Structure 1
Amino acid sequence: MAQVKRGVRASVGAVSTTTASVLPIFLTGGLAVQISAELGFDPAGLGLVVALFFGVSAFASLPCGWVVERYGSGPTSRIAVLGAAVVMACVALFARSYGALVTILLCSAWCNVLGQLSSNLTLARYVPANRLGLSFGIKQAAIPLATLLAGASVPAVALTWGWRWAYGIGAGLALAALLVAPRDTAGHSPIPATPGERATGALSVIGVAAGLAAASSSALGIFLVASAVDRGIDAGAAGLTLTLGSVVGLVLRLLHGWAADRRSGGHIAVVAASLV
């Protein structure tokens, strides 16, 4: 029973941490129409900030991975969530030009990386092996959950109170996520892998393919609303479309995780087929 409770707490903490840490960039995509109208940038400007954000995230991955291993998933999760809250508050208060928006968002790239890695480590250490599939499915559902919140913020907040309020509310939600963030305080020294446990070339290929797939899905979530409005669709309806698509993605990730726990093997083949 105690192990089950630890697993549930780890899953809840991982979802809250991941959602909060990726929310700034997905809010920017969902609210791009309203933000660009005030700050004066075009779709190319949105593409630039998104590319820079994920580029900085890629460069931050290795040092952030070392930090998470060294200091533990608890402190790094809370730092990532707090950093995301500060960034969203800064966007709401100080993003008065396109340059300021880009600068503030790039400062949150490390929050994305730190939150993702600390969440992964939390699940790997505290969730039983026979529940890892569902747990990681729940954790990965945090991405469509973030796009769901971004899509819902368009008709619910941006079109009524203004886009800055959406970032303010997002900052409040991130601070609330601190209450359920992982509490592990112990760092761990890396344990050398045995020859049979080392990553293989096949895993590297899957990693590259998964990265490309993540790029396409992230681009869809970020550019959907702006592209739909550019095609003549109402901004509120475009936001709701993003919300509904996020619900579908969320459910599918949960189902894939649940199914993974019930397979005895062949996981790489399933992943490869899904990527195709």
Structure 2
Amino acid sequence: MEPSQAEGHDATASASSSPEGMAKDIISAVAAAASTSFAVFLTGALAVQMRSTLHFGPDALGMSISIYYIGAAAGSVPFGRLTEAVGGVRIMKPTAVVAGGLLALIALFVHSWLGLSIVLFFSGIVSSAMQPATNLFLARRIPRSRQGFAFGVKQSAIPFAALFGGLAVPGIALTIGWRWAFVAAAAWSVVTAVAIPRSRTSLAAYRARHKDPVPKDDLAPLIVLGIGFGLGIFAAAAMTGFLVISAVDGGLSRSNAGYVAGIAGLIAVIARIYVGIAADRRGAGHFKVVAGMLVIGCIGYGALAIGSASRVAIFFWIGAFVAFGAGWGWNGLFNYAVIQTHQRSPARATAVTQVGGRLASVFGPLVFGLLVSNVSYSVAWMVNGLVALGGAAIIMYGRHMLLGPGKHIVVANP
């Protein structure tokens, strides 16, 4: 199959029967994915307030965020296999409940950096279950001609969590206290668990229908794509964890820094939805667009580096908007491209690539925190840009391995 065909879409899908049903399924996936993202993004956005209570610095913040992603990396492949075996809905409901419980633990019982880190580790494991579950849920229930839009909206759940975290600074943390932001997120998770639709088939019927593994000859390009994906996420994970605290260090007020993160998160939401809609119209070349967005995102990281060095506020605003919009707006498109080339087992295929993202997310905040503690925020932002640039190059190489001349990707009915 030619690259343009392999990165396109098939006409057949096990789809939602009406626009209303499709909308409900997409909203359920967004709400579920957000529920497992709140813990880490609230920690990053509220770090300025939390550190005075829990007593940690930038390097410890980076370590806490890395611990979250260690848990996420550990669970990605096992939960990808489990999700493929039992179906997305059967994973989504209990996972949202557990996510809510962990958020409540942070709100009510965490009084030290160690306690926060332990809860974040288990929150990462929960996230590793939710991501392949929501991917499979959409791949099975949304018409393939609308899956670009669906995955763009679904992946907007993650910057939505960052948006909520940023707005929680002036709206909650600076008024009634940071713990109440976690209470609100916990309530969201429990309501989401109740709202997630039931499975359409019995477990026995599901397992009889869906039992194709990821072909072995697809694993090498998936691993390479996962490395490129990981380098892009390396930069994004550090950015979401340190943007607010970096902006405060660069001279912005705490409330303005929160607004920067909140508006930047909204821009990332819009970018992910837009590139998903464009993917449905374009039908091909999705990995190329991902690489191009990463390159543009490097400009944003450069502006953040200038803002940190010069303490000129406008560079933080511009840098955050570009870095969030382009440098973090491509995740949904990447997952969509992987799923379109692996329709037999989308959960397991995306679980393989997600390992790269999760492992990179371990080291991104950790390296960024160490660079800040030992050098400067400006140097840390510049390193972020270089890493993202490397990710773009490796994604293009992985695309060549998967879709180059002589490659034949079979797009099967889900």
- With the shorter chain as reference, the TM-score category is over 0.9
Q: Which residue does 1:125 correspond to in 2?
A: 140
Moved over 3 A (4+): 3-6, 185-190, 200-204
Q: Which residue does 1:71 correspond to in 2?
A: 86
- Conserved? CA contact 1:21–1:115, under 8 Å: yes
Q: Give the 3-state SS of the residue equivalent to 1:108 in structure 2.
A: helix
1:92 is the counterpart of 2:107: yes
- Conserved? CA contact 2:172–2:178, under 8 Å: yes
Q: What are the within-5 Å matches in structure 2 for residues 184-199 of structure 1? A: 184=199, 186-187=202-203, 188-189=206-207, 190-192=210-212, 199=218
| Aligned residues with identical type, % of pairs | 34
Q: Give the 3-state SS of the residue equivalent to 2:37 in structure 1.
A: helix
Q: Which of 176, 184, 194 lines up with 1:179 in the alignment?
A: 194
1:27 is the counterpart of 2:42: yes
For the residues of structure 2 that align with 1:27 and 1:140, how far apart are their CA atoms? 17
Q: Which of 153, 158, 167 lines up with 2:173 in the alignment?
A: 158
CA pair 193-172 structure 1, distance change in 2 beyond 3 A: closer
Q: Give the 3-state SS of the residue equivalent to 2:218 in structure 1.
A: coil
For the residues of structure 2 that align with 1:270 and 1:91, how far apart are their CA atoms? 38
Q: Which residue does 2:242 correspond to in 1?
A: 223
Q: Give the 3-state SS of the residue equivalent to 1:262 in structure 2.
A: helix
| TM-score of the two chains, using structure 2 as the length reference | 0.63
Amino acid at match of 1:11: I
Deviations 1:181-231 (A, max 9, x none): 242264444533696x96264443332211221221122112111111222
Q: Which of 20, 30, 34 lines up with 1:5 in the alignment?
A: 20
| TM-score of the two chains, using structure 1 as the length reference | 0.93
1:109 is the counterpart of 2:124: yes
Q: Which residue does 1:242 correspond to in 2?
A: 261
Q: Which residue does 1:60 correspond to in 2?
A: 75
1:3 deviation in Å? 4.1
1:252 is the counterpart of 2:267: no
Q: Which residue does 2:284 correspond to in 1?
A: 265
1:133 deviation in Å? 0.4
CA pair 40-115 structure 1, distance change in 2 beyond 3 A: same
Moved more, 181-190 or 37-46: 181-190
Moved more, 32-41 or 176-185: 176-185
- Conserved? CA contact 1:14–1:182, under 8 Å: no
Q: Alpha carbon RMSD of aligned pairs, Å?
A: 2.0
Q: Give the 3-state SS of the residue equivalent to 1:162 in structure 2.
A: coil
Amino acid at match of 2:185: G
For the residues of structure 1 that align with 2:255 and 2:44, how far apart are their CA atoms? 14
1:135 is the counterpart of 2:150: yes
Structure 2 unaligned regions, length at least 5 = 1-15, 296-414
Moved more, 179-188 or 210-219: 179-188
For the residues of structure 2 that align with 1:156 and 1:203, how far apart are their CA atoms? 42
Structure 1 unaligned regions, length at least 5 = none
Q: Give the 3-state SS of the residue equivalent to 1:192 in structure 2.
A: coil
Deviations 1:71-104 (A, max 9, x none): 3211211112111110111001110111111111
Amino acid at match of 2:100: A
Moved more, 1-10 or 204-213: 1-10
Q: Give the 3-state SS of the residue equivalent to 1:199 in structure 2.
A: helix
Identify the structure with bigger relative contact order (alpha carbons < 8 Å, sequence gap 6+).
1
CA pair 160-194 structure 1, distance change in 2 beyond 3 A: closer
Amino acid at match of 2:235: S
CA pair 23-186 structure 1, distance change in 2 beyond 3 A: farther
CA pair 166-146 structure 1, distance change in 2 beyond 3 A: same
For the residues of structure 1 that align with 2:155 and 2:92, how far apart are their CA atoms? 16
- Conserved? CA contact 2:70–2:121, under 8 Å: no
Q: Which residue does 2:379 correspond to in 1?
A: none
CA pair 194-162 structure 1, distance change in 2 beyond 3 A: closer
CA pair 264-65 structure 1, distance change in 2 beyond 3 A: closer
For the residues of structure 1 that align with 2:267 and 2:202, how far apart are their CA atoms? 37
For the residues of structure 2 that align with 1:199 and 1:22, how far apart are their CA atoms? 29
For the residues of structure 2 that align with 1:20 and 1:240, how far apart are their CA atoms? 21
Q: Which residue does 1:49 correspond to in 2?
A: 64
Q: Give the 3-state SS of the residue equivalent to 2:101 in structure 1.
A: helix
Which structure has the greater CA radius of gyration?
Answer: 2
